[in-house]
Chains A and B, each alone.
Chain A
Amino acid sequence: MTAFKTLSVAMLKGFVRDKVTLFFTFLFPLMFLVIFGLILRDAGADKTRIAVVGDGPIVSALRDSGALELEPYNDENSAVQKVKDGDLPAALIIRGQRLDVRFAQSDQVKSATVLGIVNGFVDKANLAATGQPPTFTFAAEKVEDASLKPIQYLTPGILSWGVAVSAVFGSALTLVSWRRKQVLRRIRLAPISTTSVLSSRILVSTGVALVQGATFIVIASLPLFGLRLSGSWWLAIPLLLLGTIAFFALGMLVGAFAKTEEAASAAANIVVLPMAFLSGTFFPVDQAPAWLQAVSKIFPLRHMNDGMLDVLVRGKGIEALVVPSAILVGFSLVVGFIASRVFKWEE
């Protein structure tokens, strides 16, 4: 027990004192979260800006509604030039009772939006001018749809990826460096079981994964990013642990083959990076073509992602853990077994 504890503490100290590892474990994935979180924060929410020359009741009504953003210009030419340059999708020119809209042909979606909105306001003003009550009315109300805000799928995805990266690299690099530096031989010459050594290393990895999870969720929940956790978020803890063990096993396999730390790094990247892209780390996989979705099912990270998404933000219950857990456990057993077969004590 003392050996187990001392070894765990030793490895934890080694981890905490290694600035590069700390960077790749915490800051690097967080950078992705911050960058993607900020880029995609207002996705689809941008208002359309148009140029406006002149003023009048329609312009005031448009401004008050906030449906469009208005950029005032003094003369028609400079406003139209903006449209010609492609900076703005349309220019609205007020000539007393007449409104001219000059729009860019290239961006038909935006132009149509602008034309529709302006037309609507003109119709409304016309109707008001007749003094008649409207025959048809409509009311608009927002509905929360099933599609997630970017931060809601980015957090579980990038968190799973971060945990996978540090577990794979952690175990692969430790194994290779211990073999190269003959620490493995030294351990073999001590009356301690391999299980004790292995389990203390796994303990450190899972501890790191939990700290990663907490850091990620706290940062993503900042108002700047606006993550909203579901009530069943704590179900992510068993997933984090199982995922760490699965990717630890993968790292052991990589480490068994790699001769040098550099080779281990490269091999781990080759395994982890494509898996991350195909498993929905940076974008939801359900937008990908069907065949790609099928391919992504072979990756344990995909299932870890799905599970994390379900419990962290979709609010699903414990039943959402069944499939991902079973796959992660199965993966750990199979890959761990192969890794133990190809394991080498020395170069």
Chain B
Amino acid sequence: MTEERSAVVVRDVRKSYGELKAVDGVSFTVAEGEFFGILGPNGAGKTTTLEIVEGLREPDSGEVRLLGESPWPRNVKLLPRIGVQLQASSFFEKLTAKEQLQTFGALYGVSAGTAADMLELVGLADKANEQENKLSGGQRQRLSIACALVHDPDIVFLDEPTAALDPQARRNLWDVLRAIKERGKTIVYTTHYLDEAEILCDRVAIMDTGRILALDPPAVLVRGLDAPTHVTLQKGVLSVVDASALDGVDEAHEDEVSLTLSTRRPAPVLSALAERGALDGLQVRTATLEDVFLNLTGREYRA
């Protein structure tokens, strides 16, 4: 990936609020068309980083380039090329979904018709004439994403778009995010849901206390862990002793409801279990980004 082709270039950005180093030497690049995630618990510095990249805040030091331009101070030439969805749902009072889009579109000189088309993309066409405050949390979130996309920007910044949504609404939103990516947009998004980032992102940066701890495709991060796969079975289908004796099993333990085997070679373990017909209640859990986070910080991930 050459820097000239990069949509976003961030070099050693720092920002302190008094003693607190909110962003402490962050560097990354995002390629055009990439879905880039910044993950971390609350207070990790994700939002501040994003705000600096968007041009809402001036970094104490370091450099940001969006499509080759500096976003700070307010760069009117750059603004039409970036779309920003803010953390709070920022809407005009008492306007319907369609009117919100048309009003935000007008700020960029987008025609009313084009603006209204965005409702289709986020699956709100049937809510066009509902007032924003009558929409559900998920619908509002989708509307705010539509507002960020209304002027057809090249780079889209989304700050925790799935926060505070129920699981069904989160999954609906994933489809919207994938549809945006298919349009060839570069997406930079923050989340504190590691599972979601694993599914959606091409690459993720894991942040904690103002620093990037790791940056790679999710699969690479997980594989790099060399963490065991956990195979869980219903209690009683196999004794702990028999289980431990199976080829490939590193460790077996049992609690009130289930038997869990740890293995680094799941294939022979699973076939051995199948031979014995001992697959009742089978669940296979591979390592996740949560394990990566635990490994990087030495503590449990808490969103």
Q: A residues touching B (Cβ–Cβ < 8 Å)?
A: 2-3, 5-7, 10-11, 13-14, 17-18, 177, 180-183, 185-192
- Contact in complex: B93, A14 (CB < 8 Å): yes
- When the two chains form the complex, which single residue of A2, A10, A189, A190 contacts B99, counting CB atoms closer than 8 Å? A10
B268 to chain A, nearest CB (A): 55
A15 to chain B, nearest CB (A): 8
| A189-B56, A189-B84 known; A10-B95 Cβ under 8 A | yes
Q: 9 closest pairs, A vs B, by CB?
A: A6-B106, A190-B107, A182-B90, A17-B94, A14-B93, A10-B103, A191-B79, A14-B94, A182-B86
| A6-B103, A10-B103, A190-B79 known; A183-B108 Cβ under 8 A | no
> Please, how many angstroms separate the alpha-carbon atoms of A17 and B54 in the complex?
33
| A177-B93, A185-B56 known; A13-B99 Cβ under 8 A | yes
- Contact in complex: B107, A3 (CB < 8 Å): yes
| A10-B103, A189-B56 known; A181-B91 Cβ under 8 A | yes
Q: Which residue of A lies closest to B54 (CB)?
A: A189
For the complex, is B87 an interface residue (Cβ under 8 Å from A)? yes
Residue of A7, A17, A183 with most chain B CB atoms under a 10 A cut-off: A183
| A182-B86, A185-B86 known; A192-B92 Cβ under 8 A | no
Supply 10 further A-B pairs (C-beta < 8 A) apart from A6-B103, A191-B107. Answer: A3-B106, A3-B109, A11-B92, A181-B88, A182-B90, A185-B86, A186-B104, A189-B55, A190-B107, A191-B76
- Contact in complex: A13, B106 (CB < 8 Å): no
> Please, how many angstroms separate the alpha-carbon atoms of A188 and B94 in the complex?
21
For the complex, is B253 an interface residue (Cβ under 8 Å from A)? no
A242 to chain B, nearest CB (A): 27
Q: Which residue of A lies closest to B79 (CB)?
A: A191
Q: Which residues of B contact A183 (CB under 8 A)?
A: 90-92
Q: Which residues of B contact A182 (CB under 8 A)?
A: 86-88, 90
Q: Which residues in window 99-131 of B have CB below 8 A to A?
A: 99, 102-109, 112, 131
Q: Which residues of B contact A10 (CB under 8 A)?
A: 92, 95, 99, 102-103, 106
Q: Which residues of B contact A5 (CB under 8 A)?
A: 106
Residue of A2, A13, A183, A189 with most chain B CB atoms under a 10 A cut-off: A189
A177 to chain B, nearest CB (A): 7
Q: Which residues of A contact B178 (CB under 8 A)?
A: none
B86 to chain A, nearest CB (A): 5
- Contact in complex: B104, A2 (CB < 8 Å): no
Q: Which residues of B contact A6 (CB under 8 A)?
A: 102-103, 105-106, 112
B101 to chain A, nearest CB (A): 11
Q: Which residues in window 53-81 of B have CB below 8 A to A?
A: 54-56, 74, 76, 79-80
Q: Which residues of B contact A13 (CB under 8 A)?
A: 94-95, 99
For the complex, is B6 an interface residue (Cβ under 8 Å from A)? no
B149 to chain A, nearest CB (A): 13
B177 to chain A, nearest CB (A): 20
- When the two chains form the complex, which single residue of A3, A14, A17, A185 contacts B90, counting CB atoms closer than 8 Å? A185
- Contact in complex: B74, A188 (CB < 8 Å): yes
